[in-house]
Structures are given as structure tokens and as C-alpha cells.
Structure 1
Amino acid sequence: MVASSAFEFFQLELRSGVAVVTIDRPPVNALSREVYESLSRLIDHIEATEEIRAVVLACKAEAKAWIGGGDLNEFLTLNSQRRRERHAYIETITDRFYNLSRPTIAAVSMPAPGGGMVFASFCDIIIAADTAFFSMPEVDRSLTGGAGAYLFRLHLPVPFIRELILTGRKATARELHHFGFINHVVPKEDVLPKAIEIAEAIAAKSIAAVRAIKQGANLMDRVGWDEGRAVAHRFSEELVSGPDYKEAILAFLEKRKPSFAGR
């Protein structure tokens, strides 16, 4: 376990190539400026640590929310200029998290309103408790719900997204699973074990291939199918020259586990 003082609001435990990151800002893990600064340092650490091959983002068992959205006490101090500056700063951090070179798995065991739902959407895979809910309640704070724009890239039904951001209503984990937002809905006590199980399966793969796949998938989100496919092909061409390519194929043909570089 990396000492919590290293990142202040996050704890990190590394097991079998999986970094289990636990957000810890009681009671609801609200996202203040200091939390984003802490997250930036955490991202630096993850990117610099080769042993980390996948990341699970969790909350403490006693937390009242997985991530509770923006810190409303901080919001009271904002004017238009400071709000603009806050958006600009936060987006530099959220873009880094979204483009993290390791796959990320959201272990959502508690509610995820506002920024919590957005952070879940930034993860590659979402595991949620059958008791969890998600929402975009900015309209109830007399804000635009601009963060809800992130949901449109997920190809969720547009009328459904508009209902969420216009009403601020809660959507259950099972409802969002139906629309493809969530990968697995499980009992609360099974959320973290399921997330770690999937993360360990990914961590056993070629890290070069996993990084290329994630980078290509993120790019396709932004530029569309044609350009994204071309880049994915280029990544594959580069992987052929890497150390894991032949090992992966030989291991399959020889019916054994592969031994990838960096292990």
C-alpha cells in the first residue's frame, strides 16, 4: 500500500500488476481543487510505474458515494471567470485520466452522481453494485450540466441522455446496464472482487498490445471509424516488431502461457 500522504486523497495498493486506487475524502468523495491536484500526482505515479498494468478505481466501504461530484462549498466561491478557469484546469486532469496508458476499471459500489458518473464514463470498464445509482444533477444546482456532454460520446440513446441532464433524475445501475453504460451489475460486496478479477485478466496480457488497443479505442471515440481504424492498423504494424508478438502466437500454438516482456 502506498502511503495516503503521497496522494492525500487517494490510497494505492499494487497486487499482481493491478493498482487498486481508493478515493478517500469523506463523507462523499466530493471533487475539490485539491482532489484534482492529488489525482494529477497519482496519474504521474501510475505512468512512471511499469509494474502497474491495470487500474481499479474504488471507494471505501463506509463512503456515502463512490465519487460525489464537484465540491458545492467550493462552487459558492466562483464567479464567471473563476468558473472558466476551474473548467480549464479540471479538463487537463480529466483528459489525462481518460487517456491513461493503462486500462481503468470503475468499481462503483456506491452512488455516482454528477462528476462520479462522468469519471465512470472515463473508465474502460464499469462494474456497479445493484444498489448503486448514477445521475447528472447539475440542473438542480442552476448549472448547465455541461459535464453531461461527455455522455454523448458513449452512443447512449440521445433522448435518454437528455432526460438525465434536463431532469437530474437518478438512473439505476440495472437501467444503465440495459443501455450498455455498465458492463456488470453485481451485489455490492462483489463489486471490488469482480473489478480486480477483470483487471488481473488484463494485466496478464501483453502490456504493449493493451496500451495500443486502449489508445486506438480512445482515438476512435474522437475521430470516428475510418481514421481510428487506420491508426489501429498502424499500431498493429508497430506491434509486429515488438518482443511480445511472436511470443503470444508461439504460446498459443504450443498450448502454454506466454511470457511477455517486462515481467
Structure 2
Amino acid sequence: MAGKEVLYEIREGIAYITLNRPEKLNAIDPEMRQLLWDAFQEVKNNPEVRCALVTGNGRAFSTGHDLVAMANARADTQVNQAPSTGDLYVVQSTIWKPIIAAINGICLAQGCGIALGSDIRVASSEAQFGWPQAKRGISSVSGPALLSQVVPRNIAFEFLFTGDFVDAQKALELMLVNYVVPPEEVLPKAEELARKITANAPLSIAAIKEAAIKGSEMGLEDRVAFAQKKRNEVLQSEDAKEGVAAFAEKRAPVWKGR
């Protein structure tokens, strides 16, 4: 699958998803939302994909919703039929494969939502982050739904109420991102992490992610029980036997995903 506004390719088990409207700072219009949805579904359902990497083309990761397109097309059937903003975040949360955001530049509003919906975030030292919706007379989905789950609520409210931007270093201090690197190192660092992940057992990775995400909605007793259930399922797999054998034989394991 591919489209001009979202590029998609698979290399060595890594799905590369590139937002590709550089002339619009990768502002997200209905076509891009649909293509992102399609890309995430492909990542979710393709057994050849072990990890996904999301980035932007040009000087922005994404500036969020294309407000011009929104104003000009409120009654357009394409707008009504395309997956919603919230749909994208929900589908990201149901993919039991790691998603890495390589944040190459400006990251605002829905762009921040896609980044926060990813599991690991690598940011350019030139990146900026913000939720300016209140300055435009609109509200936010990713801010209340995602940001407030990542940082303390008072920090989230400051972002959302003021619409102010923060630089990459401040984002690192707030733990919005895992790494801040020079611009030319963003993609290489993300790829380095992706390769480390794809070297590990895919069933183990999937079980860990599912247990963490679903478990976050449970009490401690149920959370522990669910994590144990997922662990026991993995222990019955061929890959678990292969991992133990490879360790004993001092060789690299060959994972089959079953």
C-alpha cells in the first residue's frame, strides 16, 4: 500500500511510515488520515512487520490538522468517511508491535498525538512541541486523551491552556521523548532502536506491549494475572524453546513468531 501523502515501505521487518506533505508541514487532511489508518492496519495485520517507524518528510513531523482543508470541506463526504483523529490513536493502541516516532521537526496538535501514540520517541534537537488549539478556537483530542496520561495533569493543562510551544530539550525533561539527537541523527537513532527490537522474539514483544497497555486499565491483582497469562502463552511457543536452546548452544536465535 502507498499514497502520495503517506509513504509506506517495509525493510528488514521494519515498516517505514512517512508523512509526505512537506509543502504543508505535513498538516493532516482527510486523505492523509485515511492513508495513516491504512498504514497502521497494515502494520497490525502483516506478520512480516515486526516494528513500525513513523516520521515526516521535510522540516516538520506534523503540524496537526490541516485547518484550511477543515474550513473548506466541512460537508465533504471525504471528510465524513475518513477515520477520525481519535480513530488513529485508538488503532495505534491496539497494535502489539512497537511503534517508534522519529520526530524530525515541528510537532503540533494531532502530530503530537501520533507521536504520543507511539511507544518510543526520538526527537530532533530542532523539534518543537505544542497544542495550540485553544488559540484557534478549537479543542484538542490528543491533549486531554493522551498528553494528560504521559505528564502530570498540571503540566498537560499548561500546554493545553496556554498553547505555548516547548523545545526538544524541555520535552526530554518532561519525558515526552526518549532521546534528543542532532537532526541528521534522528532516523539513524530510530533505526538503531528498531533493529534492536526486531532482533528479539516478536511474541515476547507483543505480549509485553499488550500486557502493559491492557493492564493499565486494571487493578493490580488483575494486571499481574493478565501479565502472567500472556507470559504463560509465550512460554508454550516454539520461539520460547528456540530462545532457551540458542542460549544453551551459545548461538543467535532464529525467531519464527510462533
Q: Which residue identity lines up with residue 9 of structure 2 in the other structure?
A: E
Corresponding residue for residue 192 of structure 1:
187
Matched, 1:206 2:201: yes
Matched, 1:15 2:17: no
Whether the aligned pair in 1 keeps the contact of 2:26 and 2:61 (CA below 8 Å) is yes
- Partner deviation per Cα, 1:68-114 (whole Å, 9 max, x = no partner): 101101332577xx9xx799833223211232232100000111011
CA 1:89–1:58 in structure 2 vs 1: closer, same or farther (change >3 Å)? closer
> Partners in 1 of 2:64 and 2:227 — Cα distance?
34
Tell me which moved more, 202-211 or 41-50. 41-50
Ranges in structure 1 where 5+ consecutive residues have no aligned partner: none
Matched, 1:233 2:239: no
Corresponding residue for residue 45 of structure 1:
42
RMSD over aligned Cα atoms: 2.4
CA offset at residue 159 of structure 1? 1.9
> Partners in 2 of 1:25 and 1:45 — Cα distance?
21
Tell me, what secondary structure is at the counterpart of 1:153? helix
CA offset at residue 225 of structure 1? 4.2
Q: Normalization by structure 2: what TM-score?
A: 0.89
> Partners in 1 of 2:221 and 2:148 — Cα distance?
19
* Identical residues among aligned pairs (%): 28
**Which of 19, 22, 25 is equivalent to 1:26?**
22
Whether the aligned pair in 2 keeps the contact of 1:109 and 1:188 (CA below 8 Å) is yes
Q: Which residue identity lines up with residue 142 of structure 1 in the other structure?
A: G
Tell me, what secondary structure is at the counterpart of 1:222? coil
Q: Which residue identity lines up with residue 200 of structure 1 in the other structure?
A: R
Ranges in structure 2 where 5+ consecutive residues have no aligned partner: none
> Partners in 2 of 1:153 and 1:221 — Cα distance?
11
Tell me which moved more, 93-102 or 201-210. 93-102
Q: Which residue identity lines up with residue 118 of structure 2 in the other structure?
A: C
- Partner deviation per Cα, 1:113-163 (whole Å, 9 max, x = no partner): 111111110000000011111001011111233431111112x12221111
Q: Which residue identity lines up with residue 139 of structure 2 in the other structure?
A: T
CA offset at residue 52 of structure 1? 1.1
- Partner deviation per Cα, 1:15-57 (whole Å, 9 max, x = no partner): 2211122110232111111111111222232233222100111
CA 1:197–1:262 in structure 2 vs 1: closer, same or farther (change >3 Å)? same
> Partners in 2 of 1:140 and 1:86 — Cα distance?
27
Q: Which residue identity lines up with residue 148 of structure 2 in the other structure?
A: F
CA 1:184–1:238 in structure 2 vs 1: closer, same or farther (change >3 Å)? same
Q: Which residue identity lines up with residue 27 of structure 2 in the other structure?
A: A
> Partners in 2 of 1:233 and 1:119 — Cα distance?
30
Q: Which residue identity lines up with residue 118 of structure 1 in the other structure?
A: G
Tell me, what secondary structure is at the counterpart of 1:76? helix
Corresponding residue for residue 136 of structure 2:
141
> Partners in 1 of 2:137 and 2:66 — Cα distance?
15
> Partners in 2 of 1:136 and 1:205 — Cα distance?
36
> Partners in 2 of 1:74 and 1:229 — Cα distance?
46
CA offset at residue 209 of structure 1? 1.0
- TM alignment of 1:1-263, pairs within 5 A: 6-27=2-23, 28-60=25-57, 63-77=58-72, 89-149=84-144, 150-154=146-150, 156-223=151-218, 225-262=220-257
Aligned residues: 254
Whether the aligned pair in 1 keeps the contact of 2:125 and 2:169 (CA below 8 Å) is yes
- Partner deviation per Cα, 1:189-211 (whole Å, 9 max, x = no partner): 00000000100110111111111
